[in-house]
Copies of this chain bind each other. A is one copy, B any other.
Amino acid sequence: MKKTIVLSHPKLAESAVQSFLLEGLNWLDAGVNIIKLDQKLLRSTLSLAEQRELILNSAEVFLQFPLYWYSAPASLAQWQEELFTDKFVHDLQEKNKVQPATLAAVISMADKSADFGAGARIGRTISELLSPFQAFAEKVGFSYRKPFIIEQFNYQTPKQQERTLIEYLMYIADADASFEQRSEWLLAQLTKIEQTANSAILRDYLQQQLDEYRLLDATLGEIKNDRE
């Protein structure tokens, strides 16, 4: 089954974070389908019928967008209005009864996660703000996955951005088992990446993470032995 990313951004070509994520997706083993929607509400190069076919055949659908006024850009709402006719919703519900798919939101935002929730600067939680997408997912029979949040990408150092990318790729690949399993998965991916400056940084970062993990694991082992 396929993975499909529905990417809504008013000015896609000008977005540093979206370009970076799109570049990284090339590294993934399995190809990912991307439906791009931009500010002019131009439709994807795929027809509506082709897009419906793609969604029906996807095990995972990602709605990826920058948080605009605490919701998605207009092009995503427009896409929902056009694509999800009564008939298509019915077809999708029937299909999801047999082969349930998941829907996940991938959000980039200029605010920090810590700024959301009762008493914070933005008084509602991200979960509340994204609840229309949860209700949408449930209506069409998708299970709703915890969203992936990218905060203040443009303020991140290059190293932090690499880390964001790795976590994003793991999220898309659904490699969310133990950290060791995730690391092994990523190492396997990395062996396929050409030697570039970027991947050297990635290797360093991952090696460091693995070393830290092994140290932690050994320490925990010792503590356990001491107690027995």
Give me the interface of A with B, judged by CB distance under 8 Å. 10, 39, 41, 68-75, 77-78, 80-81, 84, 122-124, 128-129, 131-132, 134-136, 138-139
Contacts and interface: CB of A to CB of B under 8 A. Distances in A.
A73 B69 CA distance: 14
Contacts of A81: 10, 39, 68-69, 73-74
A70 to B, nearest CB: 4
| Number of copies of this chain that the complex holds | 2
Contacts of A77: 68-69, 71-74, 77
A176 to B, nearest CB: 23
Given A77-B73, A81-B74, A124 B134 contact: yes
Contacts of A73: 77, 81
A132 B41 contact: no
A128 B70 CA distance: 12
A122 B123 CA distance: 23
A173 B10 CA distance: 37
A135 B131 CA distance: 14
